[in-house]
Amino acid sequence: MISRRLFLVAAAMVPGLPALAQDKIRFAVTDIDGLESLQREFGPFKEAFEKVSGLKVDFFAVSGRTAAVEAMAADQVDFVLTGPAEYVVFNARLKAQPVVVWERPNYRASIVVPENSPIKTLADLKGKKISFGEIGSTSQHLAPATILADGGLGYGKDYEAVFLKLNVAAEALLRNDIAAIGMNQTHLERVRKAFPNQGFRTLGDGASLPNDLIVVSPKVKPETVAKFRTAFRDHGDSLLGAVTTTKENAKFIGGKFLWEVQDKDYDSVRRMFVNIGVREFTKFIGG
């Protein structure tokens, strides 16, 4: 019986002979640090995905978005779950393409102030100090800055931008050390639970954002990409159920997978880059 390796050699040498589809993929998640965490948070998804897709999944741990794009460039990883802003860089540097969107409910940004704040409109924030979350984050930085820009406040000109962790920013807000925070709805819910006796209100709410997504290296065979996408199309409910069995993935509860996605769906994120003065998409904002 011809071995798989000999078959692959023959496929490469004989015109018209179909190659075997790749049956093992390497999968990474940009915001999970370390293999142990990756296995804990995505182990149930891995098990469910292997059953319905016919693909074997090998986890590839990365220490962040920069490590992930470098790993894909070095052909060490095939598929990466990442955020909208990160995708823009993956695409610009490597021609990586979107495969499946991981839609989560109410994914949008807001500008938040204390209920008793004298600030009533976005224009009232002129000259004030505003905190954002992780630098370069779509929902914690780029989208809030766009809300402010739409309200007439230029980034880096009409207010002072600082970057504080959520709990530190919330405490600073209540001490009046900062005037407002740009955050997503998940973080707003977290702040309200952490400070149940304090009221918060939004000065401005952004539109629904392009969602997290899985991107694929251009080196992966088209038939493997098709098999990958088909698994989400035909078994989305069971895969989402597996994903959300871990508390770390609660943000996806109530969401769904979208397998019809194009690069142009993320043009709004590119406009957000430009809005804060970044016109080169090959580098992550903030490093």
pLDDT in tens, 151-208: 999 998 999 999 999 999 999 999 999 999 999 999 999 999 999 999 999 999 999 9
Q: How confident is the model at residue 18 (pLDDT cuts 50, 70, 90)?
A: very low
Q: Give dist(CA 214, CA 99) in Å, integer.
A: 6
What domains sit in the chain, N to C, each tagged with a CATH number?
18-104+211-275 (3.40.190.10), 109-205 (3.40.190.10)
Contact between 117 and 85 (Cβ < 8 Å)? no
**17 pLDDT more than 80:** no
* Choice between 127 and 156, residue whose per-residue pLDDT is larger: 127
Contact between 156 and 227 (Cβ < 8 Å)? no
Q: How far apart, in Å, are the Cα atoms of 53 and each of 40, 147, 244, 271?
A: 21, 40, 19, 36
**6 pLDDT more than 80:** no
Question: What average pLDDT does the segment 138-148 reach?
Answer: 96
Q: Give dist(CA 21, CA 18) in Å, integer.
A: 9
Number of H helices, E strands in the chain: 9, 11
Contact between 117 and 179 (Cβ < 8 Å)? yes
Contact between 234 and 52 (Cβ < 8 Å)? yes
**217 pLDDT more than 90:** yes
Residues in the chain, total:
287
Lowest-confidence segment of 19-33, 164-178, 200-214, 221-235 by average pLDDT: 19-33
Q: Give dist(CA 1, CA 21) in Å, integer.
A: 19
Identify the helix (H) or strand (E) that includes residue 109. Answer: strand 109-114
Q: What is the pLDDT of residue 286?
A: 82
**8 pLDDT more than 70:** no
Q: What is the pLDDT of residue 22?
A: 55
Question: What average pLDDT does the segment 83-104 reach?
Answer: 96
What pLDDT digit, counting tens, does each position of 54-87 carry?
Answer: 999 999 999 999 999 999 999 999 999 999 999 9
Q: Coil, helix or strand for 57?
A: strand
Q: Give dist(CA 270, CA 149) in Å, integer.
A: 15
Considering only CA atoms, give the Rg of the chain.
Answer: 21
Q: How confident is the model at residue 4 (pLDDT cuts 50, 70, 90)?
A: very low
Strands 79-82 and 212-216: antiparallel
Chain CA centroid to CA 134, Å = 12
Q: Give dist(CA 250, CA 240) in Å, integer.
A: 11
Q: Where does residue 92 rank: exposed (0-12), middle (13-18), buried (19+ CB within 10 A)?
A: middle
Backbone angles phi, psi at 200, to 5 degrees: -135, 145
Cβ neighbours, 10 Å, residue 279 = 7
